[in-house]
Amino acid sequence: MLHAADAFAKTRAEERAALVGYLPAGYPTLADSIKAVEIMIDHGADIIELGLPYSDPVMDGPAIQKAADQALAGGFRTRQVFEVTEAVAGRVPILVMTYWNLVERYGVERFARDFAAAGGAGLITPDLIPDEAGEWIAASDAHGLDRVFLVAPSSTEERIASTVAACRGFVYAQSVMGVTGARAATSAAAPLLVERTRKHTDLPIGVGLGVRSGDQAAEIGAYGDAVIVGSAIVNCYLESDDIPAGHQKLAELTADLAEGVRR
């Protein structure tokens, strides 16, 4: 099992930010989501973030919502995230981003056990706050899993401090107040949020929401420890005529992003 700390040890030694690539498991198909992860790793992704498709993704924008809907329509079930994880684990850390009620429905201890057995590194939980995460904290400790909570521009200093204290692996800085989606410009609030968060932790800080190019990745990589890219990756498939064309676009985009964080 590789953890986020393993990836950050490597990127810090290379004096650069990490590239985190996100894709919903099961999209565009189960087999092709595995292929897509392999493409991202082959072209420079340091950490993979698998989305667990959900029917009410309140934090996600149109691209990720559409991808999740397609995965669910194709028959995707929660347990299949372990299949995808097991198929790609071992080269880079694999984390799952999931809305919390999916884990509760599966069983918190059972989910932690099965994910660890598949070689997973940990969970990113956008709608779970540390105050309500006692069961997950216990299960992640028992199975040696990373737990990544989110901070936002609206977070108070007290909230940032309590959130980072509960994190293991890295901290997810949600750089905009809104849903996910590729944007023409990066968030002006992101540098300040990272600066505020660094006052409370030595953990790496990943910046997400909006990145779609190598230039933007370079911009964020100048102050963040990780650049998290999701909607732009999903759009490789949404905007392609077929899956092979999507794979090609993904290879080109990931290479561009990887070059950006290495600038």
φ/ψ (deg, to 5) at 162: -70, -30
Chain-centre distance for alpha carbon 114: 19
How far apart CA 212 and CA 71 sit, in angstroms, is: 22
User: Cα dist. 180→124, 157, 203, 212 in Å?
Assistant: 15, 24, 23, 12
How far apart CA 217 and CA 214 sit, in angstroms, is: 5
Angle between helix axes 231-238 and 243-261 (nearest 10 degrees) is 150
CB atoms within 10 A of CB 15: 7
- Three-state SS for 171? strand
Answer yes or no: 202 catalytic.
Answer: no
Residue pair 88/94 in contact (Cβ under 8 Å)? The answer is: yes
Give start and end residues of each alpha helix (H) in 60-156.
62-73, 80-88, 100-106, 108-117, 134-143
Q: In the chain, what is the straight-line distance between the N-terminal and C-terminal CA atoms, in Å?
A: 29
Reported as half-sphere exposure (CB side, CA atoms, 13 A), residue 11 has a value of 29
Of the candidates 32, 49, 146, 225, the residue annotated as catalytic is: 49
In the numeric block, the tokens 């991202």 are attached to: 40
Of the candidates 32, 46, 60, 146, the residue annotated as catalytic is: 60
Answer yes or no: 49 catalytic.
Answer: yes
User: Which of the residues are catalytic?
Assistant: 49, 60
